Structure 1
């Protein structure tokens, strides 16, 4: 007898909460796609673009949740292993401040970019994490009110991670933790990381994630850098792993931030929603449906401040969960300020929430 593939198994949609939420009670592919487009368009007021001159004249108020720094020790470690590149190597705090001032950004949340601590391992990774975090804390102290920071930890080293979490959050008073979306070929729902996730949950930590390319996928397409396709795909993989491993529900007090509008997740929402129908064992991980978990996460606008991406994200995720991000120095803040306005997806009040209000609710310290 031929093997039955899981996608060929019929399933009733009447009890699937995600399907009900997305389609009003009856699943229909065409209806879903039309409905998603309608949600994105209906009730959204169009706003006119703001000029750079107007932005510079206004008092800075924006909060950039996705802004990179390059500590000297990180640059040295990356270059030694041939990961260094000009934008990372050429970063300075003066360049960050100039970019922020041009776009009316009051506060930038600092984090190191990919490949993060994976350039080293063992004791070297612990030492590099400590040096990067102390450097970030120094910048926060030297520029009051202008910076916050997400601490780096050597996630595959559980004891080292737990020690650095305590030091970074309790001693350095950093604002949260920065992780990569994957480590080797393990994503953030992997059982190996559960002791660290338990600690994040206990502390109600803000955990910012930045994409990277997993070992499986670094050189899949020889003509493209991994950032072009793999970064968005890896973000999607780790979101799925957190949700369908049950970690999203088990460690529900972790406040996750995902870069680049959640990668390809908005475009795969139908598959996320139907996964527990096709794979019955997945239902235990998402008893309220995958969509309920996805709506609790935060997503930034870095490299996605355009009509297509923002319309797709806001069709399924509340505006309250969207945060302004620039990806400096790889893009500028003004790119994203102008991009969000020319996209004509959000109202003025929604833009204010995305660019400031939502971040303040997540990180109230920044209001001071």
Structure 2
């Protein structure tokens, strides 16, 4: 007989099969406090939630600690289903769209491909087993763009995943590099959503050392800002206008100071390539990018809304890392959003974007 003890011993229940859930989905729904806006129930979808898989540990050897960095919440990346559902219920989150932060970009192609294969198989298995509460982004071996194309096609056509989670660059190459064009072309063709989650800016580690965890507090938003800026200024978003991108952490600093981008080439033409002729102003590309709501306060949401539009904002928490343990609250408290817009941010926009039943 399969028991809870035997399941744990086999390592199955870590973002894997969810067999630990003994109370049933109905009990979870009854316990969870529904979110209503203007008297109408809203399905709350968190597009920015993480997990990791124990099955990749043997591939990592003495470097397995990359899965559990010294950060609060890291151990909960190994999902224990009852515990994760209880946390989601406390947050009033109906569904998490899970992703694995890409720790494999610095590894050789074959090892990275093995990690990605396990990630995607386990992600698909877990989400299929609990499709009322979880969806997932695929991992990609972006060191090898042609392999990444195959992985993305498999993820979308066979594994039921919603797109892919990617970093801010790979091996010093920006995503605007033509080497990545086949990946973006395939994503556009498949309607795959690309969730850009930063990995920091390691070349600035010396300046970002010291108190304040600046490598994350400053480095992560900066990484996203650089990645998006290259996609805009190198003409990548013109080449792939149907590309669906969600930028983590409110898109970094770009939306906070986007108008400077509109003036850069006018003031300093020597720093711009005259052969690249953008089809619109740099700030206008923000209207085709989606941004998560992990900016902490109603005022920050208001500012993001003013720059990109409420229709481009989706809910994000970064769970299990405790950046925003009540992600719904600062959306509900945002006076600049009307009821229709709040419903969009909380879940309706993500449902349309990711083809999730709302």
TM-score (norm 1): 0.78
Query: 2:26 corresponds to which residue?
Result: none
Structure 1 position 330, deviation (Å): 0.6
- Aligned equivalents of 1:57 and 1:104: distance in 2? 7
Cα pair 1:62 1:105 within 8 Å, conserved: yes
Deviation readout 1:172-200 (Å, 9 max, x if unpaired): 12111110012232222122212212222
User: In the alignment, does 2:98 pair up with 1:98?
Assistant: no
- Aligned equivalents of 2:109 and 2:163: distance in 1? 22
Structure 1 position 234, deviation (Å): 0.6
- Aligned equivalents of 2:138 and 2:145: distance in 1? 15
User: In the alignment, does 2:322 pair up with 1:331?
Assistant: yes
- Aligned equivalents of 2:90 and 2:184: distance in 1? 38
User: In the alignment, does 2:292 pair up with 1:300?
Assistant: yes
- Aligned equivalents of 2:191 and 2:277: distance in 1? 20
- Aligned equivalents of 2:185 and 2:99: distance in 1? 22
Query: 2:357 corresponds to which residue?
Result: 366
The 1:231–1:353 alpha-carbon spacing in structure 2 relative to 1, beyond 3 Å, is same
Structure 1 position 324, deviation (Å): 0.3
Cα pair 2:43 2:348 within 8 Å, conserved: no
Q: Give 3-state SS (helix, strand or coil) of 1:124's partner.
A: helix
- Aligned equivalents of 1:121 and 1:97: distance in 2? 35
User: In the alignment, does 2:69 pair up with 1:85?
Assistant: yes
User: In the alignment, does 2:229 pair up with 1:240?
Assistant: yes
Q: Number of aligned pairs?
A: 312
- Aligned equivalents of 1:283 and 1:312: distance in 2? 33
User: In the alignment, does 2:159 pair up with 1:172?
Assistant: yes
Deviation readout 1:280-328 (Å, 9 max, x if unpaired): 63684422211221111100012x1313421221111110110001100
Q: Which consecutive residues of structure 2, in runs of 5 or more, have no partner in the other structure?
A: 1-30, 36-40
Moved more, 73-82 or 242-251: 73-82
- Aligned equivalents of 2:357 and 2:245: distance in 1? 18
Cα pair 1:96 1:328 within 8 Å, conserved: no
Cα pair 1:150 1:174 within 8 Å, conserved: yes
The 1:357–1:169 alpha-carbon spacing in structure 2 relative to 1, beyond 3 Å, is same
The 1:79–1:231 alpha-carbon spacing in structure 2 relative to 1, beyond 3 Å, is farther
TM-score (norm 2): 0.80
Query: 1:108 corresponds to which residue?
Result: 96
Q: Give 3-state SS (helix, strand or coil) of 1:257's partner.
A: strand
Q: Give 3-state SS (helix, strand or coil) of 2:132's partner.
A: coil
Mapping 1:1-368, distance limit 5 Å: 56=33, 58=35, 61-74=43-56, 77=60, 80=63, 82-83=65-66, 84-85=68-69, 87-91=73-77, 92-94=79-81, 95-113=83-101, 115-118=102-105, 120-223=107-210, 224-225=212-213, 226-278=215-267, 279=269, 281=273, 284-302=276-294, 304-331=295-322, 334-367=325-358
Name the structure where helix makes up a greater proportion of residues: 1
Cα pair 2:42 2:348 within 8 Å, conserved: no
Cα pair 1:210 1:259 within 8 Å, conserved: yes
Q: Give 3-state SS (helix, strand or coil) of 1:172's partner.
A: coil
Cα pair 2:163 2:187 within 8 Å, conserved: no
Across the aligned residues of Structure 1 and Structure 2, the Cα RMSD in angstroms comes to: 2.4
- Aligned equivalents of 2:206 and 2:44: distance in 1? 37
The 1:79–1:361 alpha-carbon spacing in structure 2 relative to 1, beyond 3 Å, is farther
Moved more, 118-127 or 334-343: 334-343
Query: 1:8 corresponds to which residue?
Result: none
Structure 1 position 270, deviation (Å): 1.9
Structure 1 position 334, deviation (Å): 4.3
